[in-house]
Structures are given as C-alpha cells and as structure tokens.
Amino acid sequence: MKIRKSMGLTGAIVSLSLLAACGGTEDPAATTTDEITFWSSVKASDVVAQKFNETHQDFKVKLESVPSGAEYYNKLSNAVKAGTVPDVAQVEFMRLPEVAGTGQLEDLTASVGPLVAEKFPAQIQQLVNLGGKTWGVPRDTGPMMLYYRKDFFDQHKIDVPATWEEYRKAAEKTKKADPKARAGVFWNNDASVLTALSWQAGGKWFGTQGDAWQVNLDDEPSKKVADYWQGLVKDDLVRPLPALLDAFWQSVKAEETVAYVCASWCAGGLQATVPDQKGKWAVAPLPTWDGKPASGMYGGSAYAVPKGAKHTAQAAEFIKWITTDPEGIKAWVSSGTSSMFPADPALVDVVKQSFTTDFFDGQDIYATGRTAYDSIMPGWTWGPAMGTTFTSIVDSLAKVKDDAALSGALTTAETATLADMKARGLSVAP
C-alpha cells in the first residue's frame, strides 16, 4: 500500500520540504560555552565524556544518562517542546526519520555532511541522510551473526549452519542431544530481531515512489521469515524468551541456550554475563536463505543535535570525535564491556585492538562482523512511524507460542502504521 504526502516526497525517505521546514537551518543561531550537555544511554558514555574532557581544552562535556526505548524518545520530544534540549543526543537509526521528520533535530548538512559522505558506505549514509539533508553522524551498526557453543556443537557433531535449512537441522540435533538445550531463541519482546531477519531476507518494509510512501510490512521475504520462525517455535526447536533479559541469561547460564542470533554488539554482554563459559563460545556468519553472505542490522545509532540547541558548532565537534576519531572510538570500547561495531569501517581495526577476545578463545570476531557488515542488504528504509510499528509487532509476539501466526503480526502492524501515518496528515492512496 502507499501513503501519499500532500507536500510530496523527495530524497530517499522523507519529504525534503517537510524536513527543511521543521528540522532547522544550515546556519542556526549558536553561541559558545565552556560546557555542552550530552544525552546517551550507551554503555561507556561516561568514559567517553571523561576522555574527551581530559584531552580537549576549548570546552567540556557533561553527560546526562538517559533511558532507552520509547521513554527516551518521549523525553527528547518533551525537551524540544520545552526548549530544554541537550546539545548532543543519541538517536537510533530506526527512529531517526521519525525524530527528524517531526522537527526535533537541527540540520547538520553544512557541518557534518561532508564527513558523512567521506567516511561511510552508501548503505550507512542513507540512514542519516534524509530528504537531501544530513541529520546526524553514525556511531555504530548492528550486523547480525550467530553465537554458538562451540564445545557443544563439537561434542555432538553438529555442523555450524550456513543456511536456514541447515539451522533447523542443527536445532533438531541440539534438542535430540540434550532435551533441555535449544539452538535458538525466539525474542518475544523485541521487534528489532524480526525486522533484521526480514531485512536480511530482502524485505523492504518502507520505500518511496515518486511522491508516495510505500508500506509493505508483510511482503513475501518477511512472510517467509515469519513462517520459518513460527515453525521453529511450534516444533519447540527454539525457546520463546525476552531479548537479553534475566530469563534469557539464566537459560545461557544453565546451558539451555547453546546458540542464538544477535548483533555484533552482543559479544560484550555475553562475556560480561557468563564469564565462566570463557573459551566455549564462538561466532559465525548469520545463516542465509541461499548460502550467500547476507545480513540485516539489529540496532545501530547516530548522534545528532536536537532542535533549539544553543551550541551547535561545539556539538558538531564533539559528535565528530565520538564517531570518527580513533581516540573517541577507543574510549567507547576501553572498558571491555562494549563490542560495538563502528559505522566507520576504517575504525574496525581500532576496535579490535581495544576489545579482548579471550572469551571467544582468541577468535577474530571482528572478522566475522566485518563479513556481516559488508553483506548488509542494500535498499532498506526505515519508516516515519516506527514507534507505532514496533509497538504493534511486540504486542503480537507474545501470542506466537499460542499458535498465533507470526505473519499476522506483520499485517496487523502494517494496518496500525498506516492509520498512524494518516493521522499525522498523510493520505492513503487506494
């Protein structure tokens, strides 16, 4: 189905005229200061701010830790309305079109546009370049990989799957080898994984054609993914669990979860949570439908300047340092808890040198991550109402164990998304 804008759509994602009208100017009024404010929910943000302050004299950075998810975006929206915004704010890629399109960000085309064009590949640039404008600088990406217990797979002679057909066979062998163990988890509280797997399969939930939005959450690749995971759940080959919360980690500690799909950044959490399993885990490329390398992204974020910020030049300087400067990237991973995959591919070696892989028995997990990063499927577009889209999907995920069709969750979410877009002043084409 299509959503048609009264003002028309230009650029890859959102109406240029809309974003230009509500998103700031090329040369906003700004002042200098001895201190700027930095909003972030990412691990090691305190270390990053401290390191910047130790190495820069012109101004300092004050970190304000913020919640993640919907609570954070409500906080940002309220701050813009109240005129109490920070100078720098974290924005996930999936929410950036919505945040920029509703006038919550300054236009950074003049200050960071050339940097984005120079440093990042096209499929990453398009996540922050919307409507012909640049709204932020990418920090990290979330290419998907398979995490698995190498000792368990070796002991039971289970081949590491290269395709989704082979993954199902590996899941069957795992359950047969140990009735308590599963080679996968169905994340029942997080729409992002289903999104990433649909992305990998070639799904395109949103797009533009001429002056119209295209919305197609239940396209054929995405329905294939949904039906596949529905089958795994129905046959008790993967265990429904909340993403990366206590119940999941307890299953890992109890050796009831011996494989799962996750992003590159999940490595840090794994080694921090189950240090006693050091040397037992490994990573592999995400299984694909045809055996050829392909990945989607689970997570990933940029840093931007909220609408109304008073110190935009200094904010841009800090953003450049935390996203593209080797010393800034080292600061993110120096604590050993972050395995972020930098959006700037030139900085992968910097991260590798800063993040120890002893937990993975010395495996070069960043080589696997680089393969996944390089194989991220092109053409994915985030929609203008992802908060509504994700909320609708999550509401359906918990019902999958009761044989509710997972593909139906996509259809329901499409209906909810279209209704929200229409309520925002967008008209639905027949």
Which residues are CB-neighbours of 237 under 8 A, at least 6 positions away? Answer: 168, 171, 172, 175, 182, 183, 184
| Residue 223 near residue 410, CB atoms below 8 Å | yes
Give the pLDDT score at 208. Answer: 75
- The pTM of the full predicted model, rounded to 2 decimals, is 0.90
Give the pLDDT score at 19. Answer: 40
| Residue 407 near residue 323, CB atoms below 8 Å | no
Mean pLDDT by 10 residues, the chain (430 residues): 35 39 46 90 92 96 93 96 97 95 96 97 92 96 97 98 98 98 94 96 87 87 95 94 94 98 93 95 97 95 97 97 96 79 93 86 94 92 92 88 77 94 72
Topology (CATH level 3) of domain 2-138+301-335:
D-Maltodextrin-Binding Protein; domain 2 (3.40.190)
Q: Do domains 2-138+301-335 and 142-296+380-424 have the same CATH topology?
A: yes
Query: Structural domain boundaries of the chain?
Result: 2-138+301-335, 142-296+380-424
* Structure tokens that stand for 281 in this block: 């885990």
Give the pLDDT score at 182. Answer: 98
User: What whole-number distance in Å separates Cα of residue 203 and Cα of residue 379?
Assistant: 9
Give the pLDDT score at 425. Answer: 79
| Residue 339 near residue 333, CB atoms below 8 Å | yes
Give the pLDDT score at 422. Answer: 86
Single-letter residue type at 308: G
Q: The domain 142-296+380-424: what is its CATH number?
A: 3.40.190.10
How many angstroms separate the Cα of 286 from the Cα of each of 200, 223, 331? 9, 19, 28
Give the pLDDT score at 356. Answer: 81
Neighbours of 357 (CB within 10 A): 16
Single-letter residue type at 238: V
